[in-house]
Amino acid sequence: MITFRHLKQFCTHSFIAVSTLTLIGCAQPLSTTKTATYSNVDNYNTTLLQKTLPYIQSNPNKTAFYPLGDGQAALLARLAIIESAQKTVDVQYYIYRDDATSHLLTWYLYQAAERGVRVRLLLDDMQKRDDQFLANLSAHPNVEVRLFNTFGNRSFKPLSFLTDFDRLNRRMHNKSIIADGVFAITGGRNIGDEYFSANNNVEFGDFDLLMMGKVIPQVSRQFDEYWNSKPATPIEMLVTDAHLPTTAQLQQWKKAQKQYLTSDYARSLKQHPMAKKLSNQTLPFYWADAELVYDTPYKVKHSQDDLLLHHLSTMIGQAKTDFLLISPYFVPTEPGVKALVKAAKRGLNITIVTNSLASNDVFAVHGWYAKYRKEMLENGIKLYEIKTDPHIKKKHSWLGNSRSSLHAKTFIIDRKKVFVGSFNFDPRSAYLNTELGVIVDSKPFSDIFYADLDQLLEKSAYRLSLDSNNDIIWTDDTNGKQFDSEPDSSTILKMGAWLAGALPIEKHL
C-alpha cells in the first residue's frame, strides 16, 4: 500500500485512487557515474570565518546556536548566509517548492555563483520539478545540481511506483544548508512559502537552528556523504539539453525578484527584528556541546546500519525526569507505546505535542496515532493537539499561527538535552526515509522551550484527557470548552482518518 504522505503531491486525496498504486517489481535506478567533490575547501580568508574566528577560538569544542522559530527569521537567516558566502554553499532538502520564497532563495544562490561561489544543490526527487530549469541552473560553471533516489518516469512520477515501489518509497528527508564551512542551518523546515510565513492559506509551525562552531564540519561531512553516494544523480543525466539561462530569461527572472522584493511580505521582512540583528551582527548565540546524528544515504537500499533511530532510542532511554516530544506526524507503534508507558510507570514525566486531525495535513497518520491515544492517557502521558482556529490571533512561533499545521520536530530530555532535526516519530522516519538532526546539551537552550510552553499550549493546543466513562475529551483551556470528538473536523475527515487506521499501512506512515 502506498504511503499517503508522499503521493499527496501527485494524486487526489481519494483513498480509492491512492490505494490502486501497489508494489510490483523492483526496477533499478538510473546510472550514477559522476565526479566526487568535497567540502574541504580553503575558507580561511573568507569574511565569515574571520568574523567568527574570535568567538570560535574563545569557545573551543563548543557549537553556537541561534533558534529560528519564526518563519520570516528562518528565511532571513538563509538569505544572509548565502549572501555572505565567498567560497561554497551546499544546499540539501526534501521539498524545494516552485513558489515565491523558493525562487528568491534560488536567485540568491545564482548570484552567489556569479560571484564565484561554488554552489551544490542536492534535492530529493520526490517532488514535482522542472528538470530543464534545474539543468540550466546546473549549466552554470559554479553550480552543480543532483537529485537523490531518482524516478525513471520523468513525465509522471507516480507511474514509477508501479514497478519500483520498494526503492522509491524511501526518500531523503534531510534538511541542511552550509555556507563557507562556517555557518549551517538545519531543522524541520523545507523550502517553500508555507515554511516562511509567506502563505496566506496555511503555515507550518517549524523550528531550525542557525549554527557555527564544532558541529559544522560534521554537517559538511554528512552533505559530502550524500552528495557522492550512488543514489545522488547529476541532473545532466536526466536532461539531454542543458544550457545557461539566456539573457532574456535572466532579465525576466531579475524583474520577477524585484517585483517580489517590493511586496508586502518583502517589506515585512525588511522590518523584521532579525534583519537588524543580522546586519549588526548582534544575534545572541548559545554555546554548548553538540552532536550531529544522521542516517547513512544507503538506508534507501535497506541498510539498517547505524540508524538515527538507534541513537535517539538510546538517548530517550537515559531520561530520568522529563521527556517533552514535539512531532507533527506521531505514529508511536505498539512497541513504542509500550516503551512510553513503561517509562511513565517508572516516573518519567512525558508530554507529547502533535497535530490534531484538523491541523494534520496527512489524515492517514492521524488515523493510526489515534489508535494509541487512550492507552497513553490511561498511563499518565500528557497529550496536546494543535488547534486550527482562524479567530485566534497570535505571534508566529514554533507552534505556528492560527491557520497552521505543526511541522517542528524536536524533543527535550530532562530539560537539558535538545534534539532538533527532520526526524518524525513514525515508522517512515525510523525505517524508510533518511533523517538528520543535532543534539544540543544545554539547559539554557532548553529553557527557551519551557519559558512560555504552558502559555503556548493553552492558546495553541487542545489538552486531551479521559472522562468518567474512559472516553477521550478535548479541552480548550482558553475558555474551558470541551469536545467529545475530534474538534474542528468534518464528518468526512473523521471517517477518512478512521478508515486509514483500519488499513494495513502503519509501516509506510
Predicted pLDDT of residue 42: 81
Same domain, 333 and 252: no
Residue 454: active-site member: no
Same domain, 459 and 356: yes
Alpha-carbon distance of 468 to 111, in angstroms, equals 63
pLDDT in tens, 25-43: 234 444 447 899 999 778 8
Residue 22 lies in a domain: no
pLDDT in tens, 215-268: 999 999 999 999 999 999 999 999 988 888 888 888 888 888 888 888 888 888
Predicted pLDDT of residue 23: 29
Same domain, 113 and 176: yes
- Active-site annotation holder among 396, 407, 417, 494: 407
For 479, list phi and psi in degrees, rounded to 5.
-135, 0
pLDDT in tens, 43-81: 888 999 999 999 999 999 999 999 999 999 999 999 999
Same domain, 63 and 190: yes
Residue 361: active-site member: no
Q: How confident is the model at residue 7 (pLDDT cuts 50, 70, 90)?
A: very low
- pLDDT surpassing 90 at residue 347: yes
Predicted pLDDT of residue 240: 85
pLDDT in tens, 406-460: 888 999 999 999 999 999 999 999 999 999 999 999 999 999 889 888 888 999 9
Q: How many secondary structure helices (H) and strands (E) does the chain include?
A: 19, 20
C-alpha cell at position 199: 502563505
Residue 175: active-site member: yes
Cα–chain-centroid distance for residue 224? 19
Q: Which 8-state DSSP code applies to residue 343? A: H
What contacts 24+ positions apart, CB below 8 Å, involve 346-349?
A: 347/321, 348/319, 348/320, 348/321, 348/322, 348/323, 349/321, 349/322, 349/323
- pLDDT surpassing 80 at residue 5: no
Count the Cβ atoms, other than its own, within 10 Å of residue 9. Answer: 12
- Active-site annotation holder among 87, 299, 409, 416: 409
C-alpha cell at position 151: 524516478
pLDDT in tens, 123-182: 999 998 899 999 999 999 999 999 999 999 998 999 999 999 999 999 999 999 999 999
Residue 272: active-site member: no
Residue 206: active-site member: no
Residue 33 lies in a domain: no
Instruction: Name the helix (H) or strand (E) containing 75.
Output: helix 71-84
Residue 265 lies in a domain: yes
C-alpha cell at position 419: 534534539
Mean pLDDT of 274-294: 91
Contact 218, 292 (CB under 8 A): yes
C-alpha cell at position 253: 527572472
Listed residue (104, 158, 167) closest to 127, CA to CA: 158
Instruction: Name the helix (H) or strand (E) containing 205.
Output: strand 203-205
Residue 15 lies in a domain: no
Listed residue (102, 101, 135, 339) closest to 234, CA to CA: 135
Give Cβ neighbours of residue 377 (< 8 Å, ≥ 6 apart). 383, 464, 465, 466, 472
Same domain, 93 and 209: yes
pLDDT in tens, 98-133: 999 999 999 999 999 999 999 999 999 999 889 999
Residue 94 lies in a domain: yes
- Active-site annotation holder among 90, 124, 125, 180: 180
Same domain, 311 and 254: no
Residue 35 lies in a domain: no
Instruction: Name the helix (H) or strand (E) containing 348.
Output: none
Predicted pLDDT of residue 395: 45
Same domain, 275 and 365: no
Say if strands 63-68 and 208-213 run parallel, antiparallel, or are unpaired. antiparallel
pLDDT in tens, 380-414: 999 999 998 554 444 444 444 445 678 889 999 99
- Active-site annotation holder among 62, 87, 157, 173: 173
- Active-site annotation holder among 6, 87, 175, 396: 175
Same domain, 143 and 119: yes
Residue 180: active-site member: yes
Q: Based on the structure, what is the number of domains in the chain? A: 2
Same domain, 249 and 338: no
Which residue, of 218, 245, 280, is where some domain finishes? 280
Q: How confident is the model at residue 201 (pLDDT cuts 50, 70, 90)?
A: confident
Q: Which domain holds residue 203?
A: 40-280
Which residue, of 251, 280, 309, is where some domain finishes? 280
Same domain, 275 and 332: no
- Active-site annotation holder among 289, 414, 441, 488: 414
- pLDDT surpassing 70 at residue 296: yes
Residue 12 lies in a domain: no
Which residue, of 231, 256, 280, is where some domain finishes? 280
Predicted pLDDT of residue 398: 44
Residue 287 lies in a domain: no
Predicted pLDDT of residue 223: 98
C-alpha cell at position 166: 520498494
Same domain, 357 and 265: no
Model pTM?
0.90
Same domain, 341 and 212: no
CATH number, residue 197: 3.30.870.10
